[in-house]
Amino acid sequence: MTTTLDVPKGLKGLAVADTEVGDVRGDEGFYHYRQYSAVELAEKRTFEDVWYLLLEGELPDEERRRQFMREVAPLRTVPRAIEPLLDEVARTCLSPLSGLRTVLSHLAAVEAMPASHGADRSRLLADARRLTSVAATVVAALHRRSRGLEPIAPDDALPYAANYLFMVNGQRADERHARAIEQYLMLAVDHGFNASTFTARVVTSTGADFGAAVVAALGALSGPLHGGAPSLALESLDAIGTPDRAPSWVRDAVARGERIMGFGHAVYRTKDPRSEALRGTVEELGGPRAELAVQVERLVEQTLAELKPDRPLQANIEFYAGVLMEQCGLPPELFTPTFAIARVVGWCAQALEQAADVGIIRPSARYIGPPPPQPVPAA
């Protein structure tokens, strides 16, 4: 086996797996799930359709969609055995994201999710459906318990997104809000070989169970460089206050060496198609915050173009995600967990693909310490 020692930093630009799940074309501002534009899917289809597409490789017809919805709705329920843990986690975990990670880890153990190595695809598919279905219930229950409120049981009659809002707020969401959240979730299910997706695949490549893969991916997502920007972007909007203050606010922040949250992307060198799509939804929902965000976006981009002419820096998904979630009644502490529950779909689809490709992901590191072997000093 030959070892390639000169790898780009952060593995940027290196293809480390073959996938049929989807891809991102950074120069074109385009990304897709399977063979369909993700943005077009979000415009025309439902969350369940996209979920089915990622797991099964094709869009469901009407009958198959209804059957899929009937099959996954009962999987939302949290088992009684882990209810005491929910209370404890809600009391002790500061962030709902770490709470979700803790509860899903326990649930996977309680439900004896088997090692993916050697498991039937049907069993892995069942675990993938279970983890995705229950994740929203866990986030909503932790949120309510941490506020001293009784959790709301899932409503099997509601689709995924509307049910999520129902379990968080305790009342049925208006249709426009349910659809807006559904579109956001659809846009967030998968996005190339980002850090958490890579993590899910590495863990699955060892033959570990899908619970372990999702829990590890949640750990990767929890870092501020990956999943933490939507509430920070909203805080920036608050700090800017009025559009005329945006240019000087950006100049001051960049002069202090800070980054403007919700702008820039590791892969896109043009518009992030997710922020473009979300801007449309945010504008449709309307309100003063939406108007402020649209004006601030333009002014921040103009100012960043002056300050960093060599680097295209435009709004990313997180700039409008916070505004949209706020419009739909979700509090800032649920922004990243809401992103995470959508991403469980992508992690599981990637894990299914990885599980079918037997072989551990085991790269090399370049040793740069003192040349070995040095004599070991006597004790």
Ligand X SMILES: CC(C)(COP(=O)(O)OP(=O)(O)OC[C@H]1O[C@@H](n2cnc3c(N)ncnc32)[C@H](O)[C@@H]1OP(=O)(O)O)[C@@H](O)C(=O)NCCC(=O)NCCS
Binding residues for ligand X, rule: CB under 6 A, are 225, 229, 254, 259-266, 308, 311, 313, 316-318
CB of 156 or CB of 306, closer to ligand X: 306
In whole angstroms, how close is the CB of 359 to ligand X at the nearest point?
A: 29
Residue 351: other Cβ atoms inside 10 A? 28
CB of 204 or CB of 231, closer to ligand X: 231
Q: What's the CA gap between 141 and 150, in Å, rounded?
A: 8
In whole angstroms, how close is the CB of 153 to ligand X at the nearest point?
A: 34
Catalytic residue among 32, 143, 265, 297: 265
Does 318 qualify as catalytic in the annotation? yes
In whole angstroms, how close is the CB of 305 to ligand X at the nearest point?
A: 11
In whole angstroms, how close is the CB of 51 to ligand X at the nearest point?
A: 22
> b/e map of 115-153 (b: 16 or more CB within 10 Å)?
ebeebeeeebebbbbbbbbbbbbbbbbbbbbbeeeebbe
The angle, 0 to 180 degrees and rounded to 10, between the axes of the packed helices 229-240 and 246-255 is 120
Q: What's the CA gap between 86 and 103, in Å, rounded?
A: 7
In whole angstroms, how close is the CB of 343 to ligand X at the nearest point?
A: 12
Query: What are the DSSP E strand ranges found in 268-376?
Result: none
List, in order, residues 6 or more apart from 190 with CB less than 8 Å away. 21, 22, 33, 38, 54, 197, 343, 345, 346, 349, 350
Residue 265: other Cβ atoms inside 10 A? 21
Q: What's the CA gap between 99 and 310, in Å, rounded?
A: 41
In whole angstroms, how close is the CB of 348 to ligand X at the nearest point?
A: 21
CB of 225 or CB of 379, closer to ligand X: 225
| Residue nearest ligand X (C-beta atom) | 264
CB of 106 or CB of 259, closer to ligand X: 259
Please answer whether residues 103 and 138 qualify as being in contact, where contact means their C-beta atoms are separated by less than 8 angstroms: yes
CB of 68 or CB of 263, closer to ligand X: 263
List, in order, residues 6 or more apart from 266 with CB less than 8 Å away. 12
Rounded CA Rg of the chain: 22
Residue 367: Cβ-neighbour burial (10 angstroms; 0-12, 13-18, 19+): exposed
CA separation, residue 86 to residues 25, 77, 142 (Å) = 40, 13, 7
CB of 194 or CB of 205, closer to ligand X: 194
Does 265 qualify as catalytic in the annotation? yes
Catalytic residue among 111, 297, 318, 353: 318
Annotated catalytic residues are 265, 318
